[in-house]
Structure 1
């Protein structure tokens, strides 16, 4: 762990700092030091020769990145401290110039939409496969990618999600082969798949499938600190020098050594113990799914939904639970678990809740969740209900997200915005998938669903109006 070890050596030397940060090893923030520990602040340091420089690494950071590339079956790896958001944006900006097309599913994260704004790329949306019972989008089929390529042979890249938030994947290997036959780069949002390459019991990871770039949230399922991420790439269609230059456009010049060293440690942990640890986690997840499905009214979905197409594989560490059978929305169940049982779920949506089972979990914590769900179904359960699901069909894109972002705008009541072109994005976070994005025509279904979300007292973001009573549209 070259970077982590260098940071430990720095700490052991007890250096007297006259550089930034200004808290000077925590002495300037005694309350914070008392709460999180002095050692944490003593290694919250600035770039220097013994610790290398993230924007132009030549020693310990370079070596740590090379080890990560090897562990993740990539040719190059870039450490990121701006989260996978910056990785997704860098992928799109590295492959698409203004006006050029990128093929992507509409259930992409808002970071991909923002990448379109930054790059000026034109989206060609693919309709992901839909599960109407669960009210969620799944993966995309090889056939839908093939059709999009046939209709847009000038596209520069195909952008794929591997996996979706709920753990489902498409046939990534075949999609990669198809795109490469047409000279298109394959970019993969693998935010929730950092652990894929370390267990045979999980879906295939992007790099081993032959993708050109993938963005990996090591902090989500690999154990590094929140906001730390990896951008992986292979030689061929994309210039690594260009990628580094694009990353440096937006990445801080004051990168956190706490975040970077956590990437180094998490990589080592996965590379040395990942297979054994993940086998245990998969066993716990399987027990939890079986136990939850024995609770009347709850449905923990999994591999039974696989169809070899847009639902090609499934990550069993994603524990998605449909709660409509106990008369609840996912938003309600999410709040009840937090407020009544002191359990924090990853998300709640219109019909489901999601728990992520990761390397930091054990049987005791998962047993607590199963027990809480069993009790919740009895105490708070009602008759099964049909709940409004989000708009799941691709919207009509009128102008590119970039042109919408920079266009002339006016503010109108959301209730009166039907047929207008949206000039901002509206989303619940998580999952951060826009209900309506910049440049899209607003339809009645979008307006109704936003109203439903507001009624669930769920936080909506993306609009200037914090109450989402008004929305910005294009025009004078």
Structure 2
């Protein structure tokens, strides 16, 4: 996306773009003030006027600085008062940066007027030393703009000292301006809609109109102004579903309220007959989101004088603060942590395993926030969340279509449930030693192959990681749609461990599992959708034929009368929201959940601790509160920071010599980018291009995942990660052979970006200086190191196949297998053997047998996914890949012992016959690999 420009439709980074414009105006007025002293201020004054004109359109959607301050600023500029204008801009800019205007009424007054007696007063609650939380209400009014100041004053008069919050109205006068308001103003928590407003905005916002028409299916049609209110409410909910919407109508309010389409509206009032009730309704809506039932009760519990006779010595902290030896722990954490500890589920607390009180209410709030029917909190991470879902829904013998590169918890989940994994391969990015996402065609082919083999009825679930660690985001709606066309009762588990924040972006929400579920639910209820299915039946027949090659090349539509929406998502709340480590959630959107709810509870009892951490539970509650009240702002800011970091690294003359952030085209092959989008930061790329990609492409790249290539600087990923941590105190998670992954989240600031850029510049300077001052031998060694990291990379191995011992039909060509049986065969010491990785025996057996059959999961970090699973036949490409790995950590492999294998005798094989094993599955695997390449 280009740098901030004058058009208001750059709303994706609206909050940051606005602050940038205030910074520019501040600089311009300071220059003007300096030059005014010398009498050479003509050009400087013109620059101020230009900067102000670029800013004014943003201010139409903000409460602060408001009409009075802007009018005073314009007067000073018009009157040539350079010093006065500079002082006022500095005050306003500073108040915006520090957000002091939220609590200090003096910030709203021109500096030469007394504060507190002007247009805005901010009373504080009696006895409350802290400022009350502040928010803004977007008022959509059909009244002429000359009446808006009076309307604002009337709303201010409703404030009371006992109100828990304080809000400021912002008035707009059209449908499109209301949409711009909720996108640009991140302080808006409530939208108050007066019926009767027009559609079109007076601002130039072509991209916003495209967004309305393409994404929200809203256009300026022949509706009368009085019909726009309900339509606007629906549009606002699609953009920011967390907002409260109040509709005021001078027509039959009770008829509107009874309309099923009005479910998105919090309250319908008849015109303005009850202004105080409207005020209270606004406050109540915010209070409902602000309330954190479990955390609030835990705070109260910590203030009680409790006597504890349960098995938790740290509760109340006496064993710590009275200790002669561990008192420093109490001083480090403070007393509140221990006062809030308990193993009790009464006295204002609740049970996580069987919640009936405040945890139950808090989880219901969480379900509302994340668009689920049910939410279950988990205090031991998403690894456990995944295993809970899989154990609850899968039975021994069920087949699961699963990304082979998914998190290891899914592989272990198959072992626990006794399900047969059918591994599908993601597209490779061999040059960076990583994988992308699993192409939809590969998933469809797996399903159609199973159908051809008469085994489709055993397929229960599809498991995919969305988004991947490296930022590959699926077209979730399309995946579910086409899978349901093949098997209408399919269950989907979207592992969104790293993608929970996407719910709070209107542009990525549709790419989440629950966002796609909501869209499909709406589509299936639309009679027009059935026409797609009818056309498909006419073309391909009612029962899709596995032998019909057109099936894989055709976009499939399910029968909306038969398709069921059974969607689960797991998210590591602690990875992208303000929750303590191990805080996770399971989201349920399953229309048949009532049939499996008992199984699900049993799975919860199996995996959840009977002593869950109270602080983790409380942090999940608070994380939901924060995201409902400011998630939109925080997520949009993190995206903007990522875009800025990309631009700075790739455009810096020195840093870009040795490092670069991978662009969209380098992370996603052109065949999966129908939109043609190549980069987020390339000149000429607009948000219209990005919107098209988000809407249409099979995969998109999450901008907040920044893959930095460091191999061109002579560093492998692990080495560079260590340098950043040990020398510069910069931490990151993932590495590959020649790259490291940075990610921006709601915790990051511009200062973080600036610090990282400073570090990269310093490292690049050191490399540059060393190469410039060194001799040819040093430069050749550097070039050889870069070549080794960037060109001499190992091929990425595919999953081969399961040994016949672990297959229902050894003569078949489908690839599923009983991994659980193989997993437990490894427990028999006498039935296993070890073969050294760097040995002629490993080479000989991998080529001609007896087969090397893995007894373990073997997981190198990086890349962090199993390259061997129990029961898998190990082929030469996997051996070669392992030999070229230069990582220190490989789970499931002991270099002193070698590869742990299931011995041929335990497999019921004679060594002379072993080489002939698995002819057909091997052939199928070779075909899969050929197609993949």
TM-score where L is the length of structure 1: 0.93
Give 2:117's aligned residue: none
CA drift of 1:368 comes to 1.4
Asked if the contact 1:93–1:119 (Cα under 8 Å) also holds between the matched residues in 2, the reply is yes
Give 1:195's aligned residue: 501
Asked if the contact 1:320–1:354 (Cα under 8 Å) also holds between the matched residues in 2, the reply is yes
Write the distance in 2 (CA, Å) between the matches of 1:169 and 1:468.
Answer: 39
Asked if the contact 2:662–2:706 (Cα under 8 Å) also holds between the matched residues in 1, the reply is yes
Q: Deviations over 1:179-230 (max 9, x none)?
A: 2331211111111111011012436211111261011000001121111100
Write the distance in 1 (CA, Å) between the matches of 2:499 and 2:622.
Answer: 18
- Give the 3-state SS of the residue equivalent to 1:28 in structure 2: helix
Aligned counterpart in structure 1 of residue 513 of structure 2, from 188, 206, 220: 206
Q: Which structure ranks higher in relative contact order (CA pairs < 8 Å, sequence separation ≥ 6)?
A: 1
- Give the 3-state SS of the residue equivalent to 2:516 in structure 1: coil
Give 2:858's aligned residue: 426
Give 1:185's aligned residue: 491
Task: Work out whether 1:126 is the aligned partner of 2:544.
Answer: no
Consecutive unaligned residues in structure 2, runs of 5 or more? 1-291, 321-326, 451-455, 518-565, 674-696, 769-781, 807-817, 907-933
Asked if the contact 1:102–1:124 (Cα under 8 Å) also holds between the matched residues in 2, the reply is yes
Larger radius of gyration: 2
1:104 to 1:4, Cα distance in 2 relative to 1, 3 A: same
Q: Deviations over 1:267-296 (max 9, x none)?
A: 111111011111111111101111122321
Q: Deviations over 1:408-451 (max 9, x none)?
A: 44231331444411111122346631122222122333334334
The CA RMSD over aligned residues, in Å, is 2.1
Worse overlay, 399-408 or 265-274:
399-408
Task: Work out whether 1:233 is the aligned partner of 2:233.
Answer: no
Give 1:165's aligned residue: 469
Q: Deviations over 1:315-362 (max 9, x none)?
A: 111121122222222112111111221211112121210112111111
Give 1:174's aligned residue: 478
Write the distance in 2 (CA, Å) between the matches of 1:172 and 1:268.
Answer: 26
Consecutive unaligned residues in structure 1, runs of 5 or more? none
- Give the 3-state SS of the residue equivalent to 1:242 in structure 2: helix
1:388 to 1:235, Cα distance in 2 relative to 1, 3 A: same
CA drift of 1:119 comes to 0.5
1:74 to 1:392, Cα distance in 2 relative to 1, 3 A: farther
Asked if the contact 1:179–1:185 (Cα under 8 Å) also holds between the matched residues in 2, the reply is no
Give 2:657's aligned residue: 296
Give 1:320's aligned residue: 707
Write the distance in 1 (CA, Å) between the matches of 2:578 and 2:884.
Answer: 35
Aligned counterpart in structure 2 of residue 244 of structure 1, from 584, 591, 601: 601
Give 2:366's aligned residue: 68
1:414 to 1:26, Cα distance in 2 relative to 1, 3 A: farther
Give 1:472's aligned residue: 900
CA drift of 1:380 comes to 4.7
Asked if the contact 1:324–1:387 (Cα under 8 Å) also holds between the matched residues in 2, the reply is no
Give 1:55's aligned residue: 353
Task: Work out whether 1:148 is the aligned partner of 2:566.
Answer: no
1:80 to 1:302, Cα distance in 2 relative to 1, 3 A: farther
1:54 to 1:237, Cα distance in 2 relative to 1, 3 A: same
Give 1:136's aligned residue: 434
Asked if the contact 1:391–1:435 (Cα under 8 Å) also holds between the matched residues in 2, the reply is no
Task: Work out whether 1:364 is the aligned partner of 2:751.
Answer: yes
Write the distance in 1 (CA, Å) between the matches of 2:762 and 2:896.
Answer: 35
Structure with more helix by fraction:
2
CA drift of 1:103 comes to 0.2
Write the distance in 1 (CA, Å) between the matches of 2:478 and 2:443.
Answer: 10
